[in-house]
Structure 1
Amino acid sequence: METLKNKRKWSLPHSYSLIFFIIILMAVLTWIVPSGQFDRQEVTVDGMVKSAIVPGTYHTVSKSGADGDLRQGIPQILSAPMEGVINAADVVSFVLIVGGAFGIILQTGAIDRGLLALARRLKSKGILVIPIAMSICSLGGSTFGMSEEIIPLYAIFISLMFALGFDSMTAILILYLGTQIGYVGSTTNPFSVLIAQGVAGVQGNPQLWLRFIEWIIFTGVSIAFTMWYARQVKKNPEKSIVFQNDLLTRPLFLKEDTGEAVVFSKRDRFIIIGFVVVLGLIVWGILAKGWYMTEIGALFLALGLFAGIVSRMSQREMAENFVKGCGEFVYAAVIIGLARGILVIAENGMIIDTILNSLADMLKGLPSYAFTTIMLLVHNVITFLVPSSSGEAALTMPVLAPLGDLVGINREAIVTTYQFGNGLTNLISPTGGVLLAGLAIARINFGQWLKVIMKLFVVLWIIAAVFAAISASVGM
């Protein structure tokens, strides 16, 4: 009987199932929540054109008007995953191309040998990879909006963490938590702070000094948490929440260390040098040329072909390894499209603007000491529907920024609560593609991620609430 009870112990559903349940829930809301919309206008901030809502123009829309029935039923629920994949075609294609390229690169064995050699050289100092890598990721997220760019690095860091004696969850914490905490503590991120300030009418970056302090605190706390988690795993690997997962996935990312000396051939050196050069080109292209997924995907495809040629693979072997690599990343690619299906239902039902308008009305008349905390919660809710930082800024700032004027809160504090709410919610939201891609590549269940990150989320949220109140009190 005890065994049967243990088998029936409740657990979160599969990630695909969880997303589909949310799609169904969102469809139900389109029957309950009134449909409506704001008028919109084009705004240009730092060269980026966004569609921003016009305050005071919200109006309801008939559920069954000239635009058809806005209530989402079974046909819409079943078609939402397909529409989501189509809408996220750029990200899905990027993941598959990168996955195929890595299929060739990893098959050469150069990365395996390089990581094992690095792990042996670091020995007990391997833990230092965490603060160094997370600081770089966080700085990238805070300054130029590093996000999707880490997807190609998931496989490399998972392999590295295995070689250093940690688990796959540590790799996700380093990369995703690292970049996302940079978004939380944004300083000059054009896709977060700068566009929000532009839409809200904030001139310059008046609280940049405070933003640097916020970034240091958020990053420091996140690094400390990740190092604590990694030490616990290395001390007792079987206590890792993903121990059983890693038993299956480890052979996919890293060949077993036989204890023999690792010898690099000239071919290995060329491949690793090529990998470093490509990473350098990507950083340069993002900063200097505004490169995005198309250019980054092309570079990784070139790297894959280069690795295949250097290792003297035949054209058939390269093609077969490319297909195999795509297969390993299909899970990640599909889940990104499925998550986008949630937004498809909400947008087709025209309930996002209604929710936003209701939240804005709720905030009116609040005393100033409670305003920033409630505003943080509001952005937690909105981010679930609009995970894009720039999209949420264009959607919310025209409505919520003037509310700050009504209660005597400076608009820079409104921007601060937005960046905190957006960045923190994306740590626990199943609608964010970059997180789901990493979890899928590592074969980690979303429920396992929540069990780990929620321990940190509560602490970060409290810190955010304190800093939001400080931002409101110091003025502009």
Structure 2
Amino acid sequence: MVDDTTKSKKKMKGLNSFVVMFVVMVFITLLTWVIPGGEYQLDKAGNAIAGTYSALPSNKQGLWDIIVAPIIGMVGNSAVSGAVAISLYVMLFGSFLEMMDETGVIGLVLKSVSKRFEKHPYVLITVLTFIMAFLGTTQGSYEEGYVYVSLFLPIFLALGMDSITVLMITVFGTQIGCASSVINPFSTGIASDIAGISFGSGIMERLLIFFVLTAFVSFIICLYAKSVKAHPERSIQFFRRDDDLLEFGGGSENSDNDQSMSGKEKSLVAVFISTFVIMVLALFPWTSINENFTLFQDIAEWINTTPIINTIIGSDVVAFGDWYFVELCGLMLIMSIISGKVAGFSIDKIIKIIMKGAGALISTALMVPMARGIQVLMTQGNITATILNATEKSIGSLPLIIFVIFAFVIYLVFACFLPSSTGLAGATIAVMVPLGSFVGVEPFIMIIIYNFALGIAKMFTPTSIIVMTCTQYAKIDYLSWVRGVWKQLAMIFAVCLAIVLLLVIVT
């Protein structure tokens, strides 16, 4: 069963992100031949000032420029910063995830939680939805969704619920986490880097959004599950009830086995959770929220200036609140090594796992300079300002609320055809964030819109890997999935749109 699903996952990848990015680069190059050059006056922060556009000579780009654009995007030049730090971070994040996968921590946690709350199904749904959302908001959980479905199906079928409930927990859970993407390096991290803002910008808002959206999604899943449990015939999969019970075990026979975690496993869970706690603390803009909260800066200053301490630890320690991708790379590497040692792995095995995990995400890491290559071509061709000027006079002239709704819908359409966080960010952020700034939408809010649209699209679009692999594993027809959850999807969209509008109004 898993083998077939894995094969399906490979078939369902849809448009290759590298092909899409290359086509976009060629298209941008052609635009430099027909669009006149231009520039905006910049404020002290380096942002374009609306209404200050002036013409510049065009600078046509060619084949050689297409070839070197991603390379410049990786190493940087005087006009565009390099993406090497974030690419390395993506790879080292992959190393950390591979280490967690090798130790089996996530599966142990899910089995332990399922056993503990098995007699309280709605509490179980809520807890599992929050765990799924946590995986989505921290690591962009996506392709491995069918693994979680395989763990949950026997439990919830035995509790009188249906396979749609299980897919809601997995697909809605992980993707609502991706929609908030508090510290997801593959969406918020890359988009923030392209937008030229701190990874921690808007983190407080994203954290609040995470709890609000996850609680809401848990609530609507519980309502659905309660309805199906009371009236099984209401399930769109009711015709398969007996077959599902037979094929997926129909009960949690394994739940009687001792699922308690050993001391070593508990330590690994602690390392896993503490890694993301440190990330939040390190990225949170403490002094910008309260200028008098200088605890972390004081600690860093003490380390950097205290004799012996600064010799042992170093004299360039960066305070929590000021971390960026260089510091995050160090965190991922250290935590991967610590996890391996806690698991009892030899140093050779730890290194092999780190290299394997980094290798698995090379394609994602290389998408970052590809996305930056688009910026390189637009910047060298002097057309960025001209495109922004055109959109400023058209879309940018819309009333603020209408603009936000329009941007949300446009992003949702784009995400349905390109459900790749790196690809979507690379193709759109460089234009949409400055455009939003013109009409009064903060850059971090535009990134939230991008995340919302991407998360919602991956809940239903047929180009979504998690949707297609999970539906196939659970024997649910794709159209049945859409018919079964369209009301919940509509509610999620409405709540996300309301949150964005509220953010725009209060900021």
Q: TM-score range by the shorter chain?
A: 0.5 to 0.7
- 2:27 aligned partner: 36
Measured at CA, do residues 270 and 422 of structure 1 come closer, stay the same or move farther in structure 2, by a change above 3 Å?
A: closer
Identity between Structure 1 and Structure 2 (%): 23
| Aligned-partner residue type, residue 448 of structure 2 | T
The aligned amino acid for 1:470 is L
Shift of 1:451: 1.6
Q: Look up the match of 1:447.
A: 479
Counterpart pick for 2:147 among 152, 155, 176: 152
**1:254 aligns to what?**
249
Please tell me the root mean square deviation across aligned C-alpha atoms, in Å: 5.2
1:163-178 → structure 2 map (5 Å cutoff): 163-178=158-173
Distance change >3 Å, CA 390–CA 406, structure 1 → 2: same
Matched residues in 2 for 1:150 and 1:411: separation? 31
Q: TM-score, normalised by structure 2?
A: 0.55
- Matching of residue 472 in structure 1 with residue 501 in structure 2: no
Measured in 2, the distance between the counterparts of 1:395 and 1:263 equals: 47
- For the pair 1:408 / 2:440, whether they are aligned, the reply is yes
For structure 1, which runs of at least 5 residues remain unmatched after alignment? 1-15, 24-34, 51-93, 106-110, 292-352
Counterpart-to-counterpart distance in 1, 2:332 and 2:480? 35
Judged with a 3 Å threshold, the aligned counterparts in structure 2 of structure 1 residues 115 and 195 are, in CA distance, closer, same or farther, namely: closer
The correspondence for 2:132, drawn from 134, 137, 149, is 137
Deviation per CA, 1:352-408, whole angstroms, max 9, x where unpaired?
A: x9xxx9999463432323211111011101111210112211221112112123323
The residue number in structure 1 matching 2:85 is 47
Partner of 2:235: 240
Match of 2:216 in 1: 221
Contact 1:115–1:160 (Cα < 8 Å) also in 2: no
Q: Aligned letter for 1:175?
A: T
Please say if residues 157 and 250 of structure 2, whose CA atoms lie closer than 8 Å, have aligned partners that are also in contact: no
SS at match of 1:148: coil
TM-aligned CA deviation for residue 277 of structure 1: 8.0
Between the aligned partners of 2:399 and 2:161, the Cα distance in structure 1 is 48
1:196 aligns with 2:191: yes
Between the aligned partners of 1:130 and 1:48, the Cα distance in structure 2 is: 35
For residues 340-355 of structure 1, the aligned pairs below 5 Å read: none
Name 2:426's counterpart in structure 1.
394
Tell me which of 381, 393, 397 is aligned to 1:365: 397
Offset at 1:283?
Answer: 5.0
**Shift, 1:206, TM fit:** 3.3
Aligned partners of 1:427 and 1:453 also within 8 Å = no
Return the alpha-carbon distance in structure 2 between the equivalents of residues 165 and 214 of structure 1.
32
How far the C-alpha of 1:269 sits from its partner, in A, is: 3.9
1:148 to partner: Cα distance:
3.0
Deviations 1:310-351, CA, capped at 9 Å, x for gaps: xxxxxxxxxxxxxxxxxxxxxxxxxxxxxxxxxxxxxxxxxx
Q: Which of residues 398, 420, 424 is equivalent to 2:452? A: 420
Whole-angstrom CA distance in 2 between matches of 1:176 and 1:257: 22
C-alpha distance 284-216 of structure 1, shift in aligned 2 (>3 A): closer
In structure 1, distance between residues paired with 2:145 and 2:272: 11
Q: Equivalent residue of 2:168, what SS?
A: helix
Give the whole-Å Cα distance in 2 for the aligned partners of 1:175 and 1:202: 31
CA distance in 2, matches of 1:159, 1:411: 44
How do 1:202-217 residues align onto structure 2 when only pairs under 5 Å count? 202-217=197-212
**TM-aligned CA deviation for residue 165 of structure 1:** 1.5
Question: In structure 2, how many angstroms separate the alpha carbons of the residues matched to 1:201 and 1:416?
Answer: 15
Contact 1:412 1:471 in 2 (8 A): no
How much has 1:271 moved relative to structure 2? 11
1:115 CA drift (Å)? 11
Query: Which residue type is aligned with residue 391 of structure 1?
Result: G
Q: Check 1:221–1:45 CA distance in 2 against 1; reply closer, same or farther (3 A cut).
A: farther
Structure 1 residue 411, shift from structure 2 partner: 1.5
Q: Distance in 2 between matches of 1:200 and 1:367?
A: 23
The total of aligned residue pairs comes to: 345
| Cα pair distance change 1:45/1:471, threshold 3 Å | farther
| Residues 116 and 163 in structure 1, CA contact (< 8 A), matched pair in contact too | no
Quick one: structure 1 residues 455 and 395, their matched pair in 2 at CA, closer, same or farther if it must change by over 3 Å? same
User: Deviations for 1:233-256, whole angstroms, at most 9, x for unmatched residues?
Assistant: 110112211112332232121156
Query: Residue 463 of structure 1 aligns to a residue in which SS?
Result: helix
Counterparts of 1:416 and 1:177 in 2: how far apart (Å)?
Answer: 17
SS at match of 2:87: strand
**Are residues 44 and 155 of structure 1, via their aligned partners in 2, closer, same or farther at CA, if it must alter by over 3 Å?**
farther
CA distance in 1, matches of 2:160, 2:133: 24
Provide the rounded CA distance (Å) in 2 between the counterparts of 1:151 and 1:395.
29
* 1:310 matched residue in structure 2: none
Query: Which residue of structure 1 lines up, in the alignment, with residue 306 of structure 2?
Result: none
**Unpaired runs of 5+ in structure 2?**
1-7, 16-25, 30-68, 75-80, 89-97, 279-330, 334-376, 378-385
* Stretch of structure 1 that moved more, 164-173 or 248-257: 248-257
TM-score (norm 1): 0.58
Q: What residue identity is the alignment partner of 1:219? A: T
